[in-house]
Amino acid sequence: MALQAIHVQCTHCQHQFKEIPERSFLGFQKLDFPHCHEKVIYPLTSGFRTTYFIIAAVIALSIIVNLSQGQIGFPGLIGLAIIYALIRDWQIRKSINSI
Ligand SMILES: [Zn+2]
């Protein structure tokens, strides 16, 4: 899945520019601002976000099923990574909207 150039404003020096982000760990978009070399993480693309929500829902469901059978369910490493990604994504989007 190729990333498209996005219009961004540097949170550091307020310069605006258009750049193609790199894909970082867990699918976040990573930008390296050309003028001040500030590294900024941008939210997930919608495809990644949707996929993570679906996986998180499946994991939540399997935990509920486990609990209903008297077993304790754990999300596992992948589940934890996805929950982390969704929380992080929400935080990044909130901080970008507040600029
Ligand atoms: Zn900058």
What pLDDT digit, counting tens, does each position of 9-47 carry? Answer: 887 788 888 889 999 989 999 988 888 888 888 899 999
pLDDT score recorded for residue 19 = 87
Reported as a pLDDT band with limits 50, 70 and 90, residue 7 is: confident
Residue spans of the domains in the chain: they are 6-97
Distance 27 CA to ligand 1 centre (A): 23
pLDDT score of 50 more than 90? yes
Reported as a pLDDT band with limits 50, 70 and 90, residue 1 is: low
pLDDT score recorded for residue 80 = 92
Distance 30 CA to ligand 1 centre (A): 14
Please give the Cα distance from 49 to 66 (Å, whole number). Answer: 26
- CA 19 to chain CA centroid, nearest Å: 18
Q: What does the mean pLDDT of the chain come to?
A: 89
Using alpha carbons, list the distances in angstroms from residue 67 to 24, 58, 79, 81, 89. Answer: 35, 14, 17, 21, 28
Distance 15 CA to ligand 1 centre (A): 6
Distance 92 CA to ligand 1 centre (A): 17
